[in-house]
Structure 1
């Protein structure tokens, strides 16, 4: 992955303004919508089963985040994932707290069989989804990205897509290529919805680029670079969140090209 690739991905995102259909948890809808707008995409929050399938077919990308799932939204997620697959629309699965709770774990297992373009979660979630662990402590991971590397590669081979594992250093793999994205800030872990926002930005970047792997890396780099900028000018989580939104808007192709990739 080169600086040229990251610049091109950022330029494509800003030029195409992808419409991201977010079936996401109720806690994070506002920050997710604002972050998509700041980064250069457009959000939509359509989670009714009567509409989700139709909208998934016309959106640029779909995010399926199981954070506060219930029977109604679970059905909307199934319909949206099937519709996205049939229409060739890229979609991202964020398996929040999978492994820790049986209902969402079963739903995520159903969804992963529909072959998401990208699976994005923390190490414990990815390991649980791959059948290699029991999950973390709710939304918090009890494993490291290195712990999840093998499971991520196996899951990528199973879905034919990309798997991204978030942590102090993020790991992105498609089973053939692997990139680690450093940087960021510990304040991301103290900001409600930071990981969920990342899933939405992955969807936006994947919609804007020709290669889901490149798009996924670019989204992680964008989040990390913006977090570094915001952390330098804030005193804690209360002021970090709005500064991070400002930084998501301010990050340009040159800044993205300077992200810490390994």
Structure 2
């Protein structure tokens, strides 16, 4: 049995997010802070970069959603991440885990395990990261993915069921599953991997859509579709990574519900 999300339904999620102007608490890596903030501002959400342990838990209770990225770890930041995630859950605020390069070191695997125990609403990573997070070895190389999204399908479904979370595997074609449902989202542009931290920023966008919605699975799909369409449009006139980065922010700012109406319906399949 299958269902679908139409372009109009995806556009409605973008409109709802913008009307809500959600405050998104980020604990992210040094490289990503500026671009993540600019991406959220362009889309109409409100970013905040708060990583001090002394205030992380309190701020998580005030924000509409939390996005945690393990890109540049330190012991103090790890404690802030765990306390913020615990606070978000205690106050019924959704939160997104971005397990950057989780398979690279034992320390990252340990930290990711602690964060998984805090029950993220959404887990977003590339195929290598999702496989590694599920416990398999893929030889992942830093933050880059060495496998295609579909190769992480079994791991994503199992991880979603074990963690009771939505799992988004992002790549040339994105996979989204909650362990029961599965969708594939196409879009984007070949220059996107050439601009650093666009994946990190996407986790904040997912948090913004989930904060203002009612179904984390479908809201995650809406975030990915919107991001991918903005990337596709930005690539039309870009001449390289520099011009693409500028055009991408402009397209995020310009994109609206009407821009998504023309997208083909996204099929949602049942996972056996």
Superposition TM-score tier, normalisation by shorter sequence: over 0.9
Q: CA RMSD in A?
A: 1.1
Pair 1:93–1:135, CA change in 2 (3 A): farther
Give the counterpart of 2:84 among 80, 87, 93.
80
Return the TM-score normalized by structure 1: 0.97
Give secondary structure in 2 for the equivalent of 1:147: helix
Superposition map of 1:232-251 within 5 A: 232-251=236-255
Q: Distance in 1 between matches of 2:220 and 2:71?
A: 20
Offset of 1:4 from its aligned partner?
3.3
Cα deviation, residue 183, structure 1: 1.5
Distance of 1:134 and 1:57 partners within structure 2: 36
**Residue of structure 2 equivalent to 1:215:** 219
Query: 1:206 aligns to what SS in structure 2?
Result: helix
Which residues in structure 2 correspond to 1:174-253 (within 5 Å)?
Answer: 174-253=178-257
What is residue 127 of structure 1 aligned with on the other side? Answer: 131
**Residues 186-227 of structure 1, C-alpha deviation per residue, up to 9 Å, x if partnerless?**
111000111001100000000011110111101111110011
Whole-angstrom distance in 2 between the partners of 1:257 and 1:135? 40
Unaligned runs of 5+ in 2: 268-272
How big is the shift at 1:135?
5.0
1:30-41 to 2 correspondences below 5 Å: 30-41=34-45
Q: Contact (CA 8 Å) 1:125, 1:135: kept in 2 or not?
A: no
Tell which has more relative contact order, 1 or 2 (C-alpha 8 A, sep 6+). 2
Range that drifts further, 47-56 or 131-140: 131-140
**Superposed CA offset, 1:65-87 (max 9, x none):** 00011111111100000000100
- Give yes or no for contact 2:67–2:204 (8 Å, CA) kept in 1: yes
Please, which runs of 5 or more residues in structure 1 have no aligned partner? none
Task: Show the counterpart of 1:164.
Answer: 168
Offset at 1:114? 1.3
Deviations along 1:41-95, one digit per CA (max 9) or x if unpaired, are: 0000000000000000110000000001111111110000000010000000000
Secondary structure class of the residue paired with 1:202: helix
What TM-score does the superposition give when structure 2 sets the normalisation length?
A: 0.94
Paired with 1:212 and 1:256, the residues of 2 have a C-alpha distance of 19
Contact 1:63-1:93 within 8 A present in 2 as well: yes
Partner residue, 2:105: 101
The question of whether the paired residues in 1 share the 8 Å contact of 2:6 and 2:263 is answered with no
- Choose from 58, 61, 68 the match for 1:57: 61
- When the two structures are aligned, how many residues end up with a matched partner? 262
Alpha-carbon separation, structure 1, partners of 2:9 and 2:155 = 27
Given the alignment of the two structures, is residue 144 of structure 1 paired with residue 145 of structure 2, yes or no?
Answer: no
SS class of match (1:92): strand
Take 1:36 and 1:128, find their aligned partners in 2: how far apart are those partners? Answer: 28
SS in 2 for 1:31: helix
Residues 24 and 63 of structure 2 are in contact (CA less than 8 Å); yes or no, is this contact kept in structure 1? Answer: yes
Which residue of structure 1 lines up, in the alignment, with residue 20 of structure 2? 16
Structure 1 residue 110: Cα displacement: 1.0
**Runs ≥4 in structure 1, deviation > 4 angstroms?**
none
2:8–2:260 CA contact under 8 A, matched in 1 = no
